[in-house]
Structure 1
Amino acid sequence: MMELSLMGLTVVILLFAGFPIAVVLGLTGIAWTWAYGSSYLPGIAHTAFNTMASETLIAVPLFLLMGQIVQKARIAERFYNSLAHILIGLPGGLLHANVLACGIFSAVSGSSVATASTIATAAVPSQTRLNYNPRLTAGSLAAGGTLGILIPPSIPLIIYCSLIEESIGLVFIAAIAPAFLLLAMFHLYIFMRALVDPTIAPLPENISEAEDRSNLLWDALPLTVIILSVLITIYMGWMTASEAAAGGVAVSLVVALLGKSLTIPRLTEAAVESVRLTAMLLFIIVGAQLFSYAVFTWGFNTIVSDLVASVAWPPAVILLILALIYLVLGMFVDAISLLLMTVPVVHPIILQLGYDPIWFGVVLVLLLEVGLITPPVGMNLFAIKAVAHAISLKDISFGALPFVFLMLMVAVLLSAFPQLALWLPFSR
């Protein structure tokens, strides 16, 4: 156990020293593998090659490109404006549009930060002009953005499946019901807050003044078509996740070209940004796999599993301890890095406790979502701050706090009733 502690301490020190996470994990893995025995070093090359050759990860750059096309072609912005004009008359008004637009756009972006920043760009100016409560405006956008790593196609879920060699399609389908439950709880909270205090989302003097409502459904159609083309093909089993991702790229290109909203410069920007994000993610993934190779070489996963087996605690208690660890670590480490560093060790424990790995993947991503809106490393908080310059980071954090409690409530419900996640993938 001392070696495991030293390995963890090495990672922490290098991270606080400011080294990139991919470099930290990769170099730590290589160094500790070499420390175990130089004869194990060839395994480093095999691990890196097998990781990059994984068919599961093909979906990552394709889903990222699809999201970038939707973003650069301003399809998401048009969709938000459509929702805003439809929902503005409800108690809570545009706050509902924030959450719903984030939830739906996340189904094509796969990224929480991209979702939050894209929708915030369209939402913040209008809600500031209408004197909406700035905390709730920022909090609803930050929390809505977290749906980007739960609603398929979720990049963290793809990475989770690649780590445990599980079906992406099954895990995607398992995440749908919890995602909609979380979305419904967000809407219910906003609705109740607005009923108690209508000043948080005041109605404009003329609700229908913005534009002709006959155009609203037309503006919402492009994004809806793209989403359905991906989700239906995966759920019906017509395509694998990678094939659906390729199809989604094709559909998004056709939709953007038909709408005459995608120019060559914008398409170039989308491609370049997709390559940049893919390279960043894959470097982190390779580094994490080298780190995992060192963990397995030293037998740390077996040691931890044996330790858990020797503890006479109920599985629910151990699961609670793991959840608390993830919540604390999520305040300091970004979601994907935390996922990559911990799953190789935690996954055998989950199997030993008798929990379903598909169910745990959904719960784990939900816990990682919480880290996205909790300081000091809540990426969504900074994404909103980058757009909403007039709202302080403190107000954004406090605005997101009620949504943190709602997310934890859904995590508790999933733990008490695992079929919330499992009934859909195994009902076909």
Structure 2
Amino acid sequence: MNDVAISLLLVATLFAILGSGVWIGLTLSGVAWVAMQLFSARPAGDAMAVTIWGSASSWTLTALPLFVWMGEILFRTRLSQDMFRGLAPWMQPLPGRLLHTNVIGCAIFAAVSGSSAATCATIGKMSLPELRRRGYPDGIAVGSLAGAGTLGLLIPPSIIMIVYGVSADVSIAQLFIAGVVPGLLLAALFSGYLVLWSWRHPQQVPPAEPGVTLRHKLRESRHLLPVVALILAVLGSIYAGIATATEAAAVGVVGALIVSAAQGSLSWRTFKDSLLGGTRMYCMIALILAGAAFLTLAMGYIGLPRQLAEWIGSLGLTPLQLLVALALFYILLGCFLDGISIVVLTMGVILPTVQAAGIDLLWFGVFVVLVVEMAQITPPVGFNLFVLQGMTGREIGWIARVTLPFFGLMVLALALVYLLPDLVTFLPRQMRG
């Protein structure tokens, strides 16, 4: 069989197994098994055992379950309610008022969560009822939450950055630092859009609440102290070079337990639920990573990544054309797969091509995360859309429509990151220096 026929057979096998409802991790392993058995001389069982063990026992991966567990602990505490109380008085003078709590709340929670869905669900659980009760329009409230919820993927600590770092052999600490400026840039674009929206629709913005003095603002700000302290402990220890990403994740778990205990929301049930939730999430991710590692090995034996890289190289694409093609490809994949699956499924094939084009893998990691963020709010299978559908009871089409302006802002952020690569690489260079 020629290379094209082999590729088509494996893609058909992949979608046939996925369509039958088999878990993604097992699907990847199954396709890899077929590839090794039919097109390679190496015994598939031996290759599978060695590769999956190597993937599962990776030291770099140990940060992942700890960050997942930290997010699960905070998801079950009063953190989001306290954040709203601390932020709301400061938002009153801004055009758009409390709508900015969605953006700033998501940016803050993203810095202690690492998950887009958890950020969207936690902040939404707090902000949507409050905004509705105070008379803010549902469309802009839900749209801004859907867009800002994606910050959980970009602002460190990010679960998907850990997955990319493991897949591409890039420093996770460097990736975390590289995501800070693009994350803040995206949050600023979202808030800027809310300002413009409020100027165009002043009649739809409720009036400011009376009696919000500076003393009142400062008194309510005490509710932000626990989360700010946790962010400083986790990210500060990484940026100061005191701790690795894994050690900082352990600091985060201990800090989250202390915060929840201080809030009075740490019980045996909360502890057990957070541990089981984190274990289930990590096991799902680990299974996908193990299957992807085996598939990458199988593809390497067949030679498909090299052949694909040569084919793309023969097209004579410029780096910009290659990045546009990859962005469209990832957004299309995002209609059918979650972000982690997209990254682990494609890295083995895409990275040789990216390296051959002379694209920095650290910068490309942030590019991939930005594009996967866009896929989170792309119908029909954008995960944040499903989270919001469950919370609001609205149709997916309506949620996708009110989210569209924020999708456009992500496209703008992607263009800025391409035109000004120092937005990504400046801070990591300072750390290395």
TM-score normalized by the length of structure 2: 0.95
CA distance in 2, matches of 1:207, 1:345: 59
CA contact (8 A) 2:29 2:292 kept: yes
Q: How does 1:137-176 map to 2 (within 5 A)?
A: 137-176=141-180
* Amino acid corresponding to residue 386 of structure 2 in structure 1: F
Q: SS in structure 2 opposite 1:376?
A: coil
CA distance in 1, matches of 2:180, 2:167: 21
Q: How does 1:125-274 map to 2 (within 5 A)?
A: 125-203=129-207, 206=210, 208=212, 213-274=217-278
* Amino acid corresponding to residue 247 of structure 1 in structure 2: V
Partner of 1:14: 17
Q: Among 301, 313, 316, which residue is 1:312 paired with?
A: 316
Partner of 1:423: 426
Tell me the percent identity: 35
1:267–1:212 Cα change, 3 Å: farther
Report the Cα offset of residue 212 of structure 1: 5.5
Report the Cα offset of residue 76 of structure 1: 2.7
* Amino acid corresponding to residue 402 of structure 1 in structure 2: P
Unaligned 5+ residue runs, structure 1? none
Q: Among 281, 284, 290, which residue is 1:286 paired with?
A: 290
2:361 is the counterpart of 1:329: no
2:100 is the counterpart of 1:100: no
Partner of 1:404: 407
2:90 is the counterpart of 1:86: yes
1:119–1:312 Cα change, 3 Å: same
Q: SS in structure 2 opposite 1:39?
A: coil
2:29 is the counterpart of 1:50: no
Partner of 1:385: 389
Q: SS in structure 2 opposite 1:331?
A: coil
CA contact (8 A) 1:88 1:207 kept: no
Partner of 2:34: 31
Mean alpha-carbon deviation: is it higher for 54-63 or for 409-418? 409-418
- Per-residue CA distance 1:150-178 (angstroms, 9 max, x = gap): 01110110000001111101111111111
CA distance in 2, matches of 1:198, 1:26: 55
* Amino acid corresponding to residue 234 of structure 1 in structure 2: I
Report the Cα offset of residue 53 of structure 1: 0.6
Partner of 1:123: 127
2:64 is the counterpart of 1:63: no
CA distance in 1, matches of 2:90, 2:21: 46
Q: SS in structure 1 opposite 2:42?
A: helix
Report the Cα offset of residue 208 of structure 1: 4.4
* Amino acid corresponding to residue 138 of structure 1 in structure 2: V
Report the Cα offset of residue 23 of structure 1: 1.9
CA distance in 2, matches of 1:136, 1:393: 15
CA distance in 2, matches of 1:401, 1:358: 28
CA distance in 1, matches of 2:371, 2:260: 35
Q: Which runs of 4+ in 1 moved over 3 A?
A: 204-209, 211-215
CA distance in 2, matches of 1:392, 1:403: 18
Report the Cα offset of residue 213 of structure 1: 4.3
TM-score normalized by the length of structure 1: 0.96
- Per-residue CA distance 1:202-261 (angstroms, 9 max, x = gap): 22554649x964542111111111111111111111111001000111122222223323
Q: Among 286, 301, 306, which residue is 2:305 paired with?
A: 301
Q: SS in structure 2 opposite 1:397?
A: helix
Q: Among 343, 363, 372, which residue is 1:368 paired with?
A: 372
Unaligned 5+ residue runs, structure 2? none
Tell me how large the CA RMSD over aligned residues is.
1.7
2:2 is the counterpart of 1:2: no
Report the Cα offset of residue 17 of structure 1: 2.9
Partner of 1:338: 342
* Amino acid corresponding to residue 392 of structure 1 in structure 2: E
